[in-house]
Structure 1
């Protein structure tokens, strides 16, 4: 190996070694073929749904047969799109699909991106102008952070996730015995907007304020108090220069009528400036889209670099999205969503019963007690890798989530439920978790007895043998 390459490899290797020493080294891994999935984001199990699969295959076969019988020069490319949307990658099919997506989500327009990540970076990097301000939930997705870094906005201000979280506010109110919980709601967001409202440029509408939140948080599995956020923005920015962006990558397909998302569930379609969709979660395919006004759509076509300079989605990808939306529109997904809600309730009951029986310390196992309709259930523990390995060894695929993906002290194992899961599988998973908890508690008890004075039994009396080395 040339010397210059060895020097760089040594430097990069040192960084990897440092991350490994902090138990934060990421590795690629494959789920065992026979394991039960409690890890992937396909909440409605649509990627393995036989109706969806057959529909997609029949469409592709029909297109292939049509192409075989047509002029070879006009044959539809199934494998590749041929270029970016602005060059050779556009099609009437893509445009009609965008119209279908916009109509389903009660939006004026939609613009497809190759991923929700690209959609977020494209939107945030090009819309905010010099002088503008972006305020964002401290737990917002990494793609929003990347978009903000490329943005020309003058200020980027975080606010506390707990201040807008429905689950955390429920817990806060309960901790107060049901008294005064509303006084603390969204306080930090209020403080940030109150300060901004005093800025002359913001006050005179010479600067815009963009507020970024998610519809369902992928690590905590909670939802924002969206109606309250809208009310607060209107209160402190009454001139209308506050623009809310909701990342619905995880909430689309799960919440709202027929899976239209959290914004539609709350009837806020006309109050949210832009929504970012991700098709790789509940939708079971791949890609992303931005729901916005026709003017914003045209602006993004002209300025969003993650759209302009990337190859557009293939015919196969577009078809998979189209098939899934037809499935949602038809209402066939409603039984799946209802079954998923049943499984969510069952899982919480089992986990809470486990905690009541075992009484583990918070460092061993902690589960939020607040009500939730989220298929994402975080199990907080100081030993996420150990718990995940135990569950995997028992045939249940879960993943440990550690820093820097989550803040230090917020390590967890994340359970993702799917409509294809069964009550028996959930009982098996919870049984594996309880076995691990008992083992951890036994090991801690053993370590504790080794650290403290030993008890020596003599007849019916108990005498303590002092460990003088600790004095």
Structure 2
């Protein structure tokens, strides 16, 4: 068994895809998901212990109040907070769909969604990335009783947006349940950061929205936004909620504070200004992302070349992270750059200068 582990690890090292934990204490941040800079915002969080799961001793007034205020803020009937986006997606999907149901999912959805699908035991098929026609083709041929369509509003490994309105209309046409993961758009898009479903006024037509607090909001945790019946169902049947220790009460309070921060629109404007500056001054065929996405993907398609470009940028003092297979498909290896409201134009200039030899 030990040799099997070592062989797999050595194979990763040989292919240049070996993962390891790094600590970056100094440098210019173009790699974190802290889009609005909340993670570096000073606060006086009292980290008293949670003591247990929410169904035992871990529930608190802070948690209950936060869920009510979050639901109201995002114009949802109810909400339920999990400890992370991963545990949420796994727990949500695995308890909703059974072997009698069908799940259709975008081929680029996050690993947490894929793991939830596996645990659900439902029949599942992917559709081509952001391809409405392929999704409709599969909806037409469905013979299952319940159909769930799983997408992200902004995809973290392409920097591309979903056509939310068209997909929502398709789901209504074929009586499918639409679940939208807004992990990378919540806080960064829409009035006061309410996300893309809210921006396009489909939030009340979606079966469930997933919002996370560890990215634009700079904290931890995630929430399901859905009906009261749906939330009661999750409390009773979602294993990753039931059997997980709650977060400290102060975290729930801080989530509420960050979500409702009065400066979010100002920070979003600053983020978009930085993105416009970057794309106005750097326009290369290798960029596959949308102009206004805080995630800018430079697709290289080769492990060694991707690593070389990443090191070249890192040597200029810019923290970045190359993305290799299996995180992305083979031949889609890339440099993933994340922009923030706090980045200065001078830092973006340095990044652009570091990318000038991208074709070498």
TM-score scaled by structure 1? 0.74
Which position in structure 1 is the counterpart of 2:152?
214
Contact 1:388 1:413 in 2 (8 A): yes
Q: 1:192 aligned to 114, 138, 147, which one?
A: 138
Task: List runs of 5+ in structure 2 lacking aligned partners.
Answer: none
Contact 2:287 2:298 in 1 (8 A): yes
Which has the larger Rg? Answer: 1
Q: 1:106 aligned to 62, 75, 83, which one?
A: 75
Which position in structure 1 is the counterpart of 2:295?
376
1:134 aligns with 2:103: yes
Instruction: Please report how far the alpha carbon of residue 303 of structure 1 lies from its aligned counterpart in structure 2 after TM superposition.
Output: 0.5
Query: SS where residue 12 of structure 2 aligns?
Result: helix
Q: 2:209 aligned to 275, 284, 292, which one?
A: 275
Structure 1 residues 171-202: Cα deviation after superposition (integer angstroms, max 9, x where no partner): xxxxxxxxxxxxxxx11111111111xx2xx4
How do 1:391-402 and structure 2 match up within 5 A? 391-402=313-324
Instruction: Please report how far the alpha carbon of residue 371 of structure 1 lies from its aligned counterpart in structure 2 after TM superposition.
Output: 4.9
Which position in structure 1 is the counterpart of 2:27?
35
Structure 1 residues 312-367: Cα deviation after superposition (integer angstroms, max 9, x where no partner): 0112322321220231xx3x111111011011111112221xx4xxxxxx7xxx12
Q: 1:405 aligned to 327, 330, 344, which one?
A: 327
1:385 aligns with 2:319: no
Partners of 1:215 and 1:231 lie apart in 2 by 15
Which position in structure 2 is the counterpart of 1:359?
none
Q: 1:24 aligned to 17, 32, 35, which one?
A: 17
Contact 1:351 1:367 in 2 (8 A): no
Query: SS where residue 244 of structure 1 aligns?
Result: strand
Contact 2:306 2:322 in 1 (8 A): yes
Higher relative contact order (CA 8 A, sep 6+): 2
Structure 1 residues 213-259: Cα deviation after superposition (integer angstroms, max 9, x where no partner): 00111111111000000112223x1xx3x100001111100111100
Which position in structure 1 is the counterpart of 2:168?
230
Query: SS where residue 9 of structure 2 aligns?
Result: helix
Query: SS where residue 112 of structure 1 aligns?
Result: strand
Number of residue pairs matched?
357
How do 1:416-455 and structure 2 match up within 5 A? 416-434=338-356, 436-437=357-358, 440=360
How do 1:239-318 and structure 2 match up within 5 A? 240=175, 242-318=176-252
Query: SS where residue 161 of structure 2 aligns?
Result: coil
Contact 2:103 2:150 in 1 (8 A): yes
The structure with the largest helix share of the pair is 1
Q: 2:59 aligned to 90, 103, 115, which one?
A: 90
Instruction: Please report how far the alpha carbon of residue 129 of structure 1 lies from its aligned counterpart in structure 2 after TM superposition.
Output: 2.4
Contact 1:279 1:285 in 2 (8 A): yes
Which position in structure 1 is the counterpart of 2:282?
351
Partners of 2:354 and 2:195 lie apart in 1 by 33
Partners of 2:298 and 2:74 lie apart in 1 by 32
Task: List runs of 5+ in structure 1 lacking aligned partners.
Answer: 1-7, 61-77, 164-185, 356-361, 441-471
Contact 1:218 1:376 in 2 (8 A): yes
Contact 1:82 1:89 in 2 (8 A): yes
Contact 2:160 2:290 in 1 (8 A): no
Structure 1 residues 68-124: Cα deviation after superposition (integer angstroms, max 9, x where no partner): xxxxxxxxxx42111000000111221110011111111100001000111100111
1:79 aligns with 2:44: no
Instruction: Please report how far the alpha carbon of residue 211 of structure 1 lies from its aligned counterpart in structure 2 after TM superposition.
Output: 0.2
Partners of 1:38 and 1:130 lie apart in 2 by 42
Instruction: Please report how far the alpha carbon of residue 374 of structure 1 lies from its aligned counterpart in structure 2 after TM superposition.
Output: 0.8
Contact 2:318 2:351 in 1 (8 A): yes
Contact 2:325 2:333 in 1 (8 A): yes
Query: SS where residue 87 of structure 1 aligns?
Result: coil
Structure 1 residues 104-154: Cα deviation after superposition (integer angstroms, max 9, x where no partner): 11110000100011110011110112311111000111011111111032x
Which region of structure 1 is more displaced relative to structure 2, 391-400 or 21-30? Answer: 21-30
Instruction: Please report how far the alpha carbon of residue 162 of structure 1 lies from its aligned counterpart in structure 2 after TM superposition.
Output: 3.9
